[in-house]
Amino acid sequence: MTQLRWLVLAILLLAGALALLVERLVRRRKEARAYLQGVRYVLSDDPDAAIAALSDAAQLGSPEAVETYLALGALFRRTGDLARAIRLHRNMLMRPGLDPPRRVEVERELAHDYRRGGMLEEAVAAYKVLADGGDGAAREGLRDVLVDLGRLAEAAAIQRKLSGPGEDPLLAHLLAAQARAELARDVERGLAAALAAVAAAPRSADALLALAEAEGAASRPADAREAIAAALDEDPRAALLAWPALAAAGDPAAALSLLDERLPAAPDDAALHYLRGRVLHLAGRPQDAMAALRQALDLDAAGEVTLAMRDLLREAEAPAPEELAARHDLMVAALLRKARPVRCTRCGAEAPTRQWRCKRCGAFESFALPERVT
């Protein structure tokens, strides 16, 4: 009888173990099915259904639920539900037994939440803890938040550590932005930052234009024009971004000569004609300026100059009575032309014209060239 009892007990234990194994397999299958369904909803751009599916997967509580929670938190952040994303990631950090590598990942996600939610000081603190521990992704996040805060010198110092020796276009962008910020307070410091930007990437159009702005502020117009010419040689598409440098050069006649020297090689470049119109206006030749701006509008195939023209005319001072009719005709023509904003390839943000840095996601040189408008 004793042997039979032990046999029955063994069978019951085996049956229990099998039941637990089957339950675990079913649970994992359900979680995998819900997770994959959530992924499909993400790919089909249905975030509400994706959140519901991932929430179902996470509630199953299997060891793989951490991955599901991370996907759910990222989806909350993507849809702008920052409060839920932050709460979810904080709760994950309080979960006992979370592996150290997973903890780092969750802390990084929480820092991303803080940044996206505008809690920049909290983001800096969160990223800094991870960065001090050697996390490269956190260092990149810390760099980007410092840029958002305008602490460009600190951001550039982090980028130097990330990139090491050699040319670094991203460092050049950061130093160029620092130079422009410094120029409002201290011309010499702005010039030093601009020179450092060119040293970081000698062929960077952004760095060269920042140098031109600094040279103009330092009352060296010839050096400013030389830097502008070099920038347009490296990147002719940056013509619209060259206006602050041309304006800072301080000599409209010389700036006009620079543009007139370039136009024979690119007679259909709408942006160059647009710049020429603005310089002519600066030189006190309003009729010639209107003719050049109209030519720029007629040559604009992509629409970027058209959008820049709309902004220019909208923000311009009221014209003299004799200029009113020509200004009105130009504005009407600019409004009637088809034009699409340029779009950031990283986050999809739109802007009237190309920018060095996307204001939404912080990526540099991420705007796609506008397509030809038909």
Contacts of 92 (CB under 8 A, 6+ apart): 66, 69, 73, 98, 106
Which of 94-98, 140-144, 210-214 shows the lowest mean pLDDT across its residues? 94-98
Mean pLDDT of 28-45: 45
What percent of the chain has pLDDT above 90?
Answer: 49
| Averaged pLDDT for residues 240-268 | 93
Whether the per-residue pLDDT at 188 is higher than 90: the answer is yes
Backbone phi and psi for residue 343, each to the nearest 5 degrees, phi listed first: -125, 135
Residue 364 β-bridge partners? 357
The whole-model pTM stands at: 0.79
Higher pLDDT pick, 162 / 50:
162
Q: What is the mean pLDDT of residues 104-124?
A: 92
In Å, what is the CA distance from 106 to each residue of 94, 110, 232, 361? Answer: 11, 6, 44, 20
Q: Is the pLDDT of residue 45 over 50?
A: no
In the block, residue with structure tokens 């260092």: 139
- Report the pLDDT value the prediction gives residue 243, as an integer from 0 to 100: 95
State the pLDDT at residue 374: 53
Q: What is the mean pLDDT of residues 169-184?
A: 95
Sign of the dihedral defined by the CA atoms of residues 294, 311, 278, 260, in that order: negative
Q: What local confidence, expressed as pLDDT, does residue 66 receive? A: 73
Across 210-236, average pLDDT: 95
pLDDT tens by residue, 356-366: 888 888 888 88
Over residues 23-31, mean pLDDT = 52
Stronger pLDDT, 249 or 27, i.e. the higher one: 249
Residue 41 β-bridge partners: none
Helices (H), 166-242: 169-183, 187-200, 205-217, 221-234
Residue 119 has pLDDT above 70, yes or no: yes
pLDDT higher than 80, residue 60: no
The most confident of 31-35, 43-47, 132-136, by mean pLDDT: 132-136
**Interval 232-246 mean pLDDT:** 94
Cα Rg, the chain, nearest whole Å: 29
Low-confidence winner among 64-78, 109-123, 185-199, 307-321 (lowest mean pLDDT): 64-78
Q: What is the mean pLDDT of residues 240-257?
A: 92
Distance CA 138, CA 127 (A): 5
Residue 103 has a pLDDT of 87
Average per-residue pLDDT for the chain? 83
**Predicted confidence (pLDDT) per residue in 136-167, tens digit:** 899 999 999 999 999 999 999 999 999 878 89
Res. 14: pLDDT tops 80: no
Give tens-digit pLDDT for 255-300.
999 999 999 999 999 999 999 999 999 999 999 999 999 999 999 9
Give pairs for 69-72: CB < 8 Å, separation 24+.
Answer: 70/105, 70/106, 70/109, 71/35, 71/38, 71/39, 72/38
